[in-house]
C-alpha cells in the first residue's frame, strides 16, 4: 500500500471516530471514483466531505484542493464537495473548511499564527475552522 494511501486511511479513520463521538452518522461511498470520501448526516442534514492528511510545517498546513493520479488532476468544486476536512498529525486536530470559503482552487494554507508582516488579506487562520462540527449541521 502506498504511503499516501496509508496517510489518507489514518485521516479518514480519525475523522470518522470524532464524527461518531459527536453523534453524526457517517456514510462511506463504494469505490474510489467519488470526489468525496465521506458523507455525514445529522438531523437530516447531509454534507459531502473530502478528507486530507496534511502535515504542519513552519506554522502552516498546506492543503491541496485537488485530486491527482497518474493521468488526471481534478479540482474539487462545490457541486462535488461541501467540506474539506483536514487532519493535522502531531497536533491531532481536525479542521472543517467549507469549500465555498476557499478562494484559491488549487491550494489552501491554514496558518496557526497570524502572519509576521501583519497581512490579513487571503490569510486563513486554522483556529477559524478547528473542530467546527457545527458547519456540518447547517
Domain that holds residue 119: 3-136
Across 21-25, 105-109, 111-115, 119-123, least confident range: 119-123
- What CATH code is carried by the domain that includes residue 47? 3.40.1350.10
What per-residue confidence (pLDDT) applies to 2?
67
Exposure on the CB side of residue 3, measured as CA atoms within 13 A: 1
- Whole-structure pTM value: 0.89
Q: What is the total count of domains within the chain? A: 1
Q: pLDDT (tens digit, 9 = 90+) per residue, 60-78?
A: 888 888 776 667 777 888 8
Amino acid at each position: 500500500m502506498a504511503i499516501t494511501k496509508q496517510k489518507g486511511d489514518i485521516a479518514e479513520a480519525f475523522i470518522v471516530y470524532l464524527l461518531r463521538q459527536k453523534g453524526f452518522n457517517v456514510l462511506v461511498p463504494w469505490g474510489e471514483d467519488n470526489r468525496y470520501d465521506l458523507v455525514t448526516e445529522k438531523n437530516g442534514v447531509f454534507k459531502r466531505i473530502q478528507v486530507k492528511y496534511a502535515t504542519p510545517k513552519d506554522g502552516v498546513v498546506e492543503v491541496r484542493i485537488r485530486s491527482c493520479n497518474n493521468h488526471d488532476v481534478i479540482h474539487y468544486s462545490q457541486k462535488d464537495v461541501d467540506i474539506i476536512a483536514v487532519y493535522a498529525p502531531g497536533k491531532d486536530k481536525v479542521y472543517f473548511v467549507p469549500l465555498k470559503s476557499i478562494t484559491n482552487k488549487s491550494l489552501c494554507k491554514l496558518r496557526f499564527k497570524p502572519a509576521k508582516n501583519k497581512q490579513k488579506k487571503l490569510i486563513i487562520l486554522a483556529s477559524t475552522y478547528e473542530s467546527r462540527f457545527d458547519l456540518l449541521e447547517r
